[in-house]
Each structure stands twice: as structure tokens, then as C-alpha cells.
Structure 1
Amino acid sequence: MKENKKAVRLRLYQNMVNYKKPTSFQLKESYPLPPYSTVIGMVHSLCDYKEYKEMEVSVQGKYHSKVNDLYTRYEFKNGMKFDPARHQLQVGEFGISRGISTVELLVDVELLIHIIPQDQSLVGEIEKAFLYPREYPSLGRREDIVIIEEVKVVDIFEEELEEDIELREDFTAYIPLNIIKNESIVVDGAEPGIKSRGTRYRVTKDYELVNYGTVKSPKIFRQWNKVDVLYSSRITAIGGETILKDVDNNIILNA
């Protein structure tokens, strides 16, 4: 077994949380687990990083149930003047509509997250940021507070397994498709002719700033880099295959 790198392993709990799907509006739907970009954003916020630090992330966890809740929604159209028959709020000469909408919340969320910075000298900084957070940590919306149950620096290894290792029975995970394709990880319960069962997502990880305007009149937009993943449970790492795991035999499904 050859040592590869170190990772910061987190065990987190959240009471009620929404990891918003960017394409949902009337009902703010939630991803079943936090996207990679959401986790990376939390790390950068707690570490007070002012520029992007390359890192890989593995996200596993579960939730108990879902509920819907109401929230206040504000809408405005660029340049629309205030109209008392249409708008509830006036800002300067412009109008804003205020109403209610619905948000989907996951209840009793437990997460197991591995953070693997490309620059391994950052491991200690990230560990300290979670042991002694500079402000309350949140994951998802600003109000979705995180309870940190464990922070631990662990050695991670690429190792050829002598026997199968199963993910915790009640846990789900994002599995990058490249890991599925090399068949080192399988998902039990698939129908005949189907290698793996689960839900396909294109999960955001990081972004680049792209200018769609001109040099004199720039129009800067975020161009997101996305990872194709399978969201599923009953995950098994196959004996005889080489996988990434930590010293406590936790499978790492990094992207």
C-alpha cells in the first residue's frame, strides 16, 4: 500500500437545507447532496481565500426526508419604472415585485466529505479553518448552518483491494462517470442489461470568467466546469480493482 496524499475529512450535519438546482424557479428544488462547487465555496469562505485553490472533493451522505416551505421572493425587470398597481416596493424610480414561493428542504442531512487540495501544503490551513471557523459555517443557502461533527486529516491511498468494500448501507454518493466506466466501482440492484442504477447529474465544480463582449465593452460571465456523475446508493468497490480510499477504509469518489 503506497501513500498518495492527505485529505481533510469532514463529518457534517444539517437540520434543514436546500442545495438549489440552478434551473428550478417556481419551486426551488434541491440536489440530494451538495454539489462540488458548493463544498468548494464553503472551504474558500472559511479559509478566506481570495483566489481559487485547485482541489478535488468526494461527497457522500444521506437525508431523512423532504419538506416544502414558503419563502419571500423578489422580482424585478431591468429598467422597469415603479408602477403602484404592479409593484410592492420602490427603489429610486424602479419597481420590485414581492410575493411568496416554495422551497424544497432536505431534513436531517448527514455528510461525509473528503477535501483533497492540489497544493498539499494547504491541508493544515483547511483543517484549522474547520476546527476554529472564523464565522458560522453554512452549506447551501446562507442560512443553512452546518454542525461540524468531525474534522480529521487522513492519509489517502490508491490500493488494489483484496476483497470488496461497501459504502455505508444507508449512504448515497456522487460517483463520477469515469470511475463507473473503469468498473472499479459497481452499484448493486441494477436491472439486467443495465450496469448501474441511479440518477445522472451534471454537477458544477468550478468556473472560468469569460468575456463575451469586447475589450472596450466587456461582458464577463461565469463559464461553469461540470462533472458527469451518477447519484446512487448500495455502492461497492470491487476486490482486485484499484481504488482510492482513506486509512479508515472509507471509499473516496473524488472529482
Structure 2
Amino acid sequence: MKAIRIKFFQETASFKLPMWNGSLLPTYPLPPYSTVIGMIHTLCQWSTAHRIKLSIVCNNQQLGAAQQGLYRGYIGGATFNKVTEETESRWPIVVEGAFNDYIGFTTRIYTTEFLVDRYYTLHVMTENEEDFNKIIEAFNYPPVYPSLGRWEDSIRIDEVKIVEIADKLVNGKLNCFVWLPERYSSLQGFSTVWKIPTYYNLVRDKRKFEYIKCYLGERGDLATFRLDEEGEHVLLI
């Protein structure tokens, strides 16, 4: 099976989980499939969904999430009739309200999780030759500065190569970190199940995602996977 293999490095990233406990902004331990699909569509400048098969693995020896405290957002919303020394000391931000009153706000500290110094290997397969060639062109000559996740989290593309992936599935130990769809995993019933978004449809102007149930596959875990011509692990979805 012919595929495009892309190797890239990312210094920092934060792939925010759809949960928030008020003080911690957590990140997925690996980029969700939807984020990778979005990056490919952005670089190819596709305005409609192109269905592709992909596999993304992290080649680091360890996973770790750095944390950074920052001032972000506002809390408060207290109303009062006039501005005094007391209200100014309590509320650093004061705005005029709609009913001849004032509203006070203050900042708070959040802790954001960041992924640091990640090396990734991405395999992509397409349904037609036109999309295949477009992806090769987009990663060799990006029309916009490539990033994965937030715009500021740029990537350094180290390799774009056409490779052959074996049809045969093999069983063995992982030498990387990867989202492990249930059909590839031996961890069923023994590990946390993650719902990882892929493509989405617009329903009443809101994104409704498709999800794949996965485990977080780590180095040494038993799994079923394919190999490319140079022995790189491939787990296509």
C-alpha cells in the first residue's frame, strides 16, 4: 500500500480536552486525529472534507506534560452604583453597566498543560492520486506556516517521503506512543478508554464530531499494527 510518510518536530503544543475544572486547562497526551486532519486540510487549502487514512505516532522515549501558570480570563461580574476606593481595590477592571451602574472583574490564574519537544511520524493514504499529490506538494512547499493545534504551535517538517506499507498485520510490542483503536489493542478492559474526534459535520451551525474509541498505546505494549518499508509502526484509521 502506497502512503506518504511525514516526519516532523514540534517544540510546544496544547491540545485542549473538552473539560475544564476551573483552574487546570488539560491537554490530550497526543494530538487528536481531528487536529491532524485539520492541519492537512489547512496546508492543502481544502475547504471541504477529504477523507483520508492516517497514522500518527510519537517517537519520544517518554511522554510528559509541562505546566505553565498564566493569567487568563475574568471572574467576578459584581455590580455597584458608584466607583470608590474600595471597589477599585477589589476589582482591577471596572466597566460601565447598562443600567447606570458599574461592573467589576478581576483576573485569575490558570494552569495550562503543554507538550514539549515532540517528534512525530505521520503516514497518510488517500482515496485518489490527486489528493495524494496535493499532500506531498503542501508539505514540501507549505502555502502557510505549518502548525499543529494552536497557530503559535508551529512544526518543523524533517521528511516527506513516499513509502510502501505492508498489507499484513503483525502482533508485537510498540516502540512508540500512539492512539490505539480498540481493534488494534490488547489493552481492552485494562486501560482508560479515550474518545478521539476525527471528522465533523455541521449540524445547526455547530460541529458534530465522529469519534473513535482508543487506548493510549505506550512503548512495550502489545498491539496489532502494520510496518512500512523501513520498519516504522503504522496504525491506520
Counterpart of 1:19? 15
Q: Does 1:253 align with 2:232?
A: no
Matching of residues 34-53 of structure 1 within 5 Å: 34-53=31-50
State the structure with bigger RCO (CA 8 A, min sep 6), 1 or 2: 2
Distance 2:221 2:130 in 1: 32
Q: How many residues are treated as equivalent by the alignment?
A: 221
Counterpart of 1:70? 69
TM-score, with length taken from structure 1: 0.73
User: 5+ residue gaps in structure 2?
Assistant: none
Distance 1:147 1:230 in 2: 27
Q: Tell me if structure 2 keeps the 8 A contact 1:246–1:252.
A: yes
State the 1:89 CA deviation: 7.7
Aligned-pair Cα RMSD in Å = 3.1
Matching of residues 24-173 of structure 1 within 5 Å: 24=20, 26-61=23-58, 62=60, 65-74=64-73, 88=93, 98-159=107-168, 161=170, 165-168=172-175, 171-173=176-178
Q: Which amino acid aligns with 2:148?
A: L
Query: For 1:199, what is the secondary structure of its paired residue?
Result: coil
Indicate which of 167, 174, 179 corresponds to 2:179: 174
State the 1:235 CA deviation: 3.7
Q: Tell me if structure 2 keeps the 8 A contact 1:89–1:98.
A: no
State the 1:141 CA deviation: 1.6
Q: Tell me if structure 2 keeps the 8 A contact 1:199–1:232.
A: no
State the 1:237 CA deviation: 5.3
State the 1:87 CA deviation: 8.1
Distance 2:180 2:161 in 1: 22
Higher gyration radius (CA): 2
Counterpart of 1:205? 198
TM-superposition CA deviations, 1:155-198 (whole Å, max 9, x none): 2231265xx55432xx2111110223xxxxx46xxxxxxx6754
Q: Does 1:244 align with 2:226?
A: yes
Q: Which amino acid aligns with 1:113?
A: L
Counterpart of 1:217? none
Distance 2:215 2:96 in 1: 45
- Greater shift, 143-152 or 62-71, is seen at 62-71
Q: Aligned residues: percent identity? A: 28
From the superposition, tell whether residues 142 and 107 of structure 1 become closer, same or farther in structure 2 (CA, over 3 Å). same
Query: For 1:133, what is the secondary structure of its paired residue?
Result: coil
Q: Which amino acid aligns with 2:120?
A: L
Distance 1:91 1:16 in 2: 39
User: 5+ residue gaps in structure 1?
Assistant: 181-185, 188-194, 212-219
Counterpart of 1:227? 212
Distance 1:227 1:111 in 2: 20
State the 1:90 CA deviation: 6.1
